[in-house]
Structure 1
């Protein structure tokens, strides 16, 4: 074959075309131009919205396996938590049933002894339910506002508790609302009784907002109080009825200063997140009829 008949043009694969550097500059300028136009005129916003609408079904379908796995995991986790809570509730119910029977027996025995000795019966507190509206904004005075006031019979100084223990005391009463100072306040004192040792002390708040606690003041270094002891109201002040749960001793050390021990008490009440409370009203229980029935 003659040489002149061969095609001397290179195949398209080896053609260089526009230099790569020129393409880079052109595309860069075009990208900057599009960004400026988009920032000024917002032309691409409808385009993004349309793409998002088109891709939403695809995204929804792609997320379903992940959501199904999350749902299955959450279901089994909740099931296990519910089973564990049920076991704890049954154990606690058995303990409470045993204690309830003992309390009923001791109450009847105490009533009989008081009748024999012709002593006045203890004051029986009555309570009305209230709901916590909000927390006081004052960082130096831990307190809450409840939805009961003077129109509902709330009195100044009335003790307040939640379903677990003493929460605080009413310090300001309005017609429809009242302010409750929490027991974690530094200047709020509660006379307490150690149910194990019978020791009586004054409990003061530590003022801590993140970890509310109480301290027992004037506790001697030779005290029998130990960690785990339960303290309740002693009723010596005439404000708090005796026997209300206050807290549990969490720490006893000899570094309290001035010859006294340092005793820290964790409150029984949910000081930080209480939602429903009881406002107590201490009234004298009439015993005339009961005494007449108990006497010959």
Structure 2
């Protein structure tokens, strides 16, 4: 057999490509480059929006069985539970009717006082209703997805509430859906005011420490007048949340001698674990007129001595 007809290539068993260390270095460098590019230039935002738009029909179909099961469960709710809910709703309605009888008179007095003091009228916040589709897949964050997006003029940073209080804030908007970060997420902070004492503070999400969902009122002095049961509402000083919306109730106050601050644990008022229908508000900052530009000072003309 002529030597030219022999295949001198090594068998596949002996073929070797790049080493594992080389692959690891290349992949690590590529990942680092993509993270830096995304942080500086937001190159993945269009990709995320496109993928969210393409996957929305699949998500919609996948949610149909879940919604069907929910419908069946709601249908087979026991009669005793329904009667208890009706009784609780009646008591709440009576309390709200009593408060409503006072609201008209208080509103009239408030308008008269504001006109007397020549104060600016309060901003009217526009709202949109939305439905919670599902929880976000990231186990390290507290986020939900709603069925409204850019097509419905949802803006990033918009506050989200339910029937009980502040639920969270819009942190990412896609063409057809939006991502809501709940108040119990560790990255959420809301300026609040204690309705009993009028003292302002800031609540931070602390879901990892206090079970399924909790808040912490931080940086309050150890001798601060805070008691369990105090209601915390939005103060409105951040330009995002309208003032007066319930945020949380103080559950526990721990004052330690080795710390200058008290440890104040709060429970959110909103249903962070079971909200289904929510309301998206327009941020107050987008309704405030821009600050006027400073005027240039008039030139000073100096006259020389004769």
Give the structure-1-normalised TM-score. Answer: 0.67
Structure 1 stretches of 5 or more lacking a match?
A: 1-74, 287-296
Q: Give the Cα–Cα distance (whole angstroms) in 2 for the partners of residues 256 and 169 of structure 1.
A: 36
Count matched residues.
Answer: 211
What is residue 249 of structure 1 aligned with on the other side?
Answer: 250
Task: State whether structure 2 residue 245 is matched by structure 1 residue 238.
Answer: no
Q: Contact 1:123–1:282 (CA<8 Å) still a contact in 2?
A: no
What is residue 205 of structure 1 aligned with on the other side?
Answer: 205
What's the offset of the Cα at 1:85? 3.4
What is residue 172 of structure 1 aligned with on the other side?
Answer: 172
User: Alpha carbons of 1:80 and 1:185: their partners in 2 closer, same or farther (altered >3 Å)?
Assistant: closer
What's the offset of the Cα at 1:103? 2.1
Local SS of the residue matching 2:262: strand
Structure holding more strand per residue = 1
Counterpart mapping for 1:1-296 below 5 A:
78-208=78-208, 210-255=211-256, 258-282=259-283, 284=287
User: Alpha carbons of 1:235 and 1:257: their partners in 2 closer, same or farther (altered >3 Å)?
Assistant: farther
What's the offset of the Cα at 1:78? 4.0
Q: Give the Cα–Cα distance (whole angstroms) in 2 for the partners of residues 257 and 165 of structure 1.
A: 34
What's the offset of the Cα at 1:86? 3.4
Q: Contact 2:157–2:283 (CA<8 Å) still a contact in 1?
A: no
RMSD: 2.2
Further displaced range: 104-113 or 276-285: 276-285
Q: Contact 1:124–1:282 (CA<8 Å) still a contact in 2?
A: no
What's the offset of the Cα at 1:253? 1.2
Q: Give the Cα–Cα distance (whole angstroms) in 2 for the partners of residues 256 and 154 of structure 1.
A: 47
User: Higher Cα Rg: structure 1 or 2?
Assistant: 1
What is residue 54 of structure 1 aligned with on the other side?
Answer: none
Local SS of the residue matching 1:111: helix
Local SS of the residue matching 2:233: strand
What's the offset of the Cα at 1:229? 0.9
Q: Contact 2:147–2:176 (CA<8 Å) still a contact in 1?
A: yes
What's the offset of the Cα at 1:285? 9.4
